[in-house]
């Protein structure tokens, strides 16, 4: 699988802490406090860095360690608003906070489209995928006014329809009989250790705390799957697709977990 473009990887050094301000938090197992959208997190320093970055998990903020803006933060900070930060340009702050989630959605779509274009079984769809990739890139490069008026949901549906067709072409290549669809399934705490899930449709499946140790997940579709605290020790995800950094960061794995080449092993996974 081809490596993802660096434009779709967060560069916090070139962002003005937008995810720490624009987004709301609700006190939960993921966030220790409530925070309204547009209100800076109490841990955000004057230099836009996190004051507890090295101990986020221990301090009750594991959700922050999982979050990925897909590079939207630096685009909005440095390109859409030309390097003006919300502290020095308070007149632009509201627009910046409103635009950030829109660009983040578009960048996530670009991530999926880039991956789809790297999937050989979907080559018959590559022309359409490139067209939508170009269109999505142009939308993400829009002005603040254009982005604020953008109907993201409608565009997302167009992309999703094509990604569904891509998924079908990839999963049908998996060996063995067709797998039962697990799209949107409630698999909280499910015991799937050692399961043969090659070519499985796991779109939107709730796999919170599921036991997937040693499972064969090659050519499985992971779009929207909730992998919080899922056990992936020794699982084989080498050809799994539409799997993101956020999902891996939310899961638990080890040194024996086999990952797609485009994804790095999360630092918090226990190495053995």
Query: Does domain 178-262 sit in CATH 3.30.70.370?
Result: no
Spell out the residues 6+ positions from residue 164 whose beta carbon is closer than 8 angstroms to its own: none
Answer for the pair 104, 5: CB distance below 8 angstroms, yes or no. no
Q: State pLDDT tens for residues 192-219.
A: 999 999 999 999 999 999 999 999 999 9
Mean pLDDT of 164-181: 88
Query: What would the pLDDT profile of 96-152 be if each residue is shown by its tens digit?
Result: 999 999 999 999 999 999 999 999 999 999 999 999 999 999 999 999 999 999 999
Q: Does 272 have pLDDT greater than 80? A: no
- pLDDT at position 127 is 98
pTM over the 0.85 mark: yes
Span 178-190, mean pLDDT?
Answer: 90
Q: What are the counts of helices (DSSP H) followed by strands (DSSP E) for the chain?
A: 7, 0
Q: What is the mean pLDDT of the chain?
A: 93
The Cα 245–Cα 111 span in angstroms is 11
The confidence band for 267, taking pLDDT boundaries of 50, 70 and 90, is: confident
Task: Enumerate the β-bridge partners of residue 258.
Answer: 236
Domain boundaries, the chain: 6-171, 178-262
For residue 182, the model assigns a pLDDT of: 93
The reported pLDDT for the residue numbered 179 is 72
Q: Flag whether pLDDT at 264 surpasses 50.
A: yes
Q: Which residue has the tokens 């990604």?
A: 163
Q: What percent of the chain has pLDDT over 90?
A: 90
Any idea which of 23-37, 113-127, 219-233 has the lowest mean pLDDT?
Answer: 23-37
């Amino acid at each position: 699988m081809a490596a993802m473009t660096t434009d779709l990887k967060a560069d916090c050094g070139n962002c003005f802490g937008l995810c720490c301000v624009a987004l709301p938090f609700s006190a939960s197992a993921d966030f220790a406090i409530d925070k309204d959208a547009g209100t800076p997190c109490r841990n955000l320093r004057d230099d836009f860095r996190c004051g507890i970055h090295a101990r986020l998990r221990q301090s009750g903020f594991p959700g922050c360690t999982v979050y990925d803006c897909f590079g939207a933060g630096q685009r909005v900070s440095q390109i859409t608003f030309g390097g003006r930060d919300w502290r020095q340009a308070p007149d632009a702050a509201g627009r910046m906070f409103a635009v950030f989630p829109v660009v983040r959605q578009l960048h996530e779509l670009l991530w999926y489209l880039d991956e789809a274009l790297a999937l050989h079984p979907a080559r018959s769809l590559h022309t359409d995928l490139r067209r939508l990739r170009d269109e999505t890139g142009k939308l993400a490069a829009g002005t603040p006014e254009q982005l604020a008026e953008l109907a993201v949901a409608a565009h997302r549906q167009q992309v999703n329809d094509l990604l569904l067709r891509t998924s079908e072409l990839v999963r049908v290549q998996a060996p063995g009989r067709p797998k039962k669809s697990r799209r949107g399934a409630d698999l909280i705490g499910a015991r799937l250790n050692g399961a043969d899930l090659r070519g499985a449709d796991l779109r939107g499946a709730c796999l919170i705390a599921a036991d997937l140790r040693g499972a064969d997940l090659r050519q499985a579709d992971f779009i929207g799957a909730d992998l919080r605290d899922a056990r992936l020790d020794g699982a084989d995800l080498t050809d799994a697709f539409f799997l993101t950094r956020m999902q891996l960061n939310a899961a638990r794995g080890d040194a024996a977990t086999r990952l797609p080449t485009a994804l790095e092993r999360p630092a918090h996974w226990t190495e053995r």
